[in-house]
Amino acid sequence: MPSGLDATPRAPAYTPEVAARTAHLYERVKGVIPEPEWPVHAAEIDAIQRLKRERNAVVLAHNYQTPEIFHGVADIVGDSLALARQAAATEADVIVQAGVHFMAETSKLLSPEKRVLIPDPRAGCSLASSIGAEDVRRLRERYPDAPVVSYVNTSAAVKAESDICCTSGNAVQVVESLGARRVIFLPDQYLAHYVALQTDVEIISWQGQCEVHERFTGAELEAYRRQFDELAVIAHPECPPDVLAAADYVGSTAQMIRFVEERRPRRVLLVTECSMSDNVAAGVPEVEFVRPCNLCPHMKRITLPGIRRALETLAPAVEIPPALAARARRAVERMLAVV
């Protein structure tokens, strides 16, 4: 194919200048990225940094992104709640969402005037795809007195049918803020179960699950505890109940990271998507990480070359029909007003 028609721009080169400009970043990740891999990442990182300046763009990266994205090009990192807040606050013209599609939609809802790019729109989520707007309408007909709380891991169409959103970091507060006797809580049945253990509000749940967290078992955690002494087991609330019962601490990805950074346990097992261990390990070299590796295939669709291409072409951009967006935005903003 003649080069002028080539849809995939050539990868940037690793030069001595690039090596010098990225050396400080390699210092940060040298414990988790092998040296022979660094030149390829560094050339992409350097090109992305330049494009971000040219486009007045920021990269919002979820805690599950790979270390070269998380430490190399992200301007803002965090859990779903932090990313939603930062999307609303940023003054950039362009947001690149290094995360999954529902996160990019949430950013677009909160920054409708900005261009929000998702480097690979196929980056979905098994929770978001487990429920549609029609399912929510049917639940409302069945339980007309119960407000609908939807996890942010849902499509804009589902958010538009909901009274309020929540994340793993604020679910209990959001449920209790409604003053209702019972609520419909969707779509994660395990997060719903976890919330129900901590509140007197009756929780009506849906049968969605995260395909990454549902794979962990309580028996597996007990086996790790037998193998490694002094092991702090920290789990995400999307895990099944037997896993949460076997954990020392349960929290959102940001709360899990805070636990490790503040308490600095000798050994830790983060029961969640495994890139997060690499990202946290880079900052706490004295903590030993035990790593069962469950990867989220959707999060892993986001790569440095994909981020670069998105910045070069300003596509693919997230678009949400304005009437739908207005209803979905209300549910997200209502959450942000609670916590």
The binding site for ligand SF4 (CB under 6 A) comprises: 100, 125-127, 153, 210-212, 238, 273, 296, 298-299
Q: Which of helix, strand or coil describes residue 39?
A: helix
CB of 294 to ligand SF4, least distance (A): 8
One-letter amino acid of 279? N
Q: Does 279 bind ligand 13P (CB under 6 A)?
A: no
Contacts of 265 (CB under 8 A, 6+ apart): 230, 231, 232, 287
Quick one: which of 334, 331, 296 has its CA closest to 122? 296
Is 253 annotated among the ligand-binding residues? yes
Which among 255, 266, 205 has a CA at the least distance from the CA of 232? 266
- Least separation in angstroms between residue 188's CB and ligand 13P is 9
The nearer residue to ligand 13P, 299 or 310, going by C-beta atoms, is 299
Burial label for 217, CB within 10 Å (0-12, 13-18, 19+), is middle
For residue 174, is it left (φ>0), alpha (ψ between -120 and 50) or beta? alpha
CB of 326 to ligand SF4, least distance (A): 25
Shortest Cβ distance from residue 99 to ligand 13P (Å)?
8
147 annotated binding-site participant: no
In the sheet that 115-117 helps form, which strands lie side by side, from edge to edge? 76-78, 57-62, 94-98, 115-117
Which one, 111 or 168, has the nearer CB to ligand 13P?
A: 168
Q: Specify burial of residue 200 (Cβ count, 10 A radius: 0-12, 13-18, 19+).
A: exposed
The reply on whether position 86 binds ligand 13P by CB under 6 A is no
Residue 80 in contact with ligand 13P, rule: CB under 6 A: yes
Full strand arrangement of the beta sheet holding 182-186: 164-166, 148-151, 182-186, 202-205
62 is in an annotated binding site: yes
For ligand 13P, the binding residue among 154, 252, 277, 279 (CB under 6 A) is: 252
Q: Are 187 and 127 within 8 A, CB to CB?
A: yes
* Distance from chain centroid for Cα 31: 23
Q: Cis check for the bond before 316: say yes or no (omega within 30 of 0).
A: yes
The CB density around residue 66, as the number of other CB atoms within 10 Å, is 23
Site track for ligand 13P across 192-211, x = CB under 6 A: ------------------x-
For the chain, percent helix, then strand, then coil, each to nearest 5?
45, 15, 35
The least distance separating ligand SF4 from the CB of residue 126, rounded to whole angstroms, comes to: 4
111 scored as a contact of ligand 13P (CB under 6 A): no
Closest distance of CB 234 from ligand 13P, Å: 12
Copy the structure tokens of residue 133.
Answer: 């707007």
| Residue 214 contacts ligand 13P per CB under 6 A | no
Q: How many residues bind ligand 13P (CB under 6 A)?
A: 11
Q: Which is nearer to ligand 13P, 167 or 189 (CB)?
A: 167
- For ligand 13P, the binding residue among 46, 68, 79, 188 (CB under 6 A) is 79
- Name the minimum Å distance from CB 268 to ligand SF4: 19
Binding-site positions for iminosuccinate read 62, 80, 151-153, 168, 236-238, 253
Binding-site positions read 62, 80, 125, 151-153, 168, 210, 236-238, 253, 296
Interface ranges with ligand 13P (CB under 6 A): 63, 79-80, 153, 167-168, 210, 236, 238, 252-253
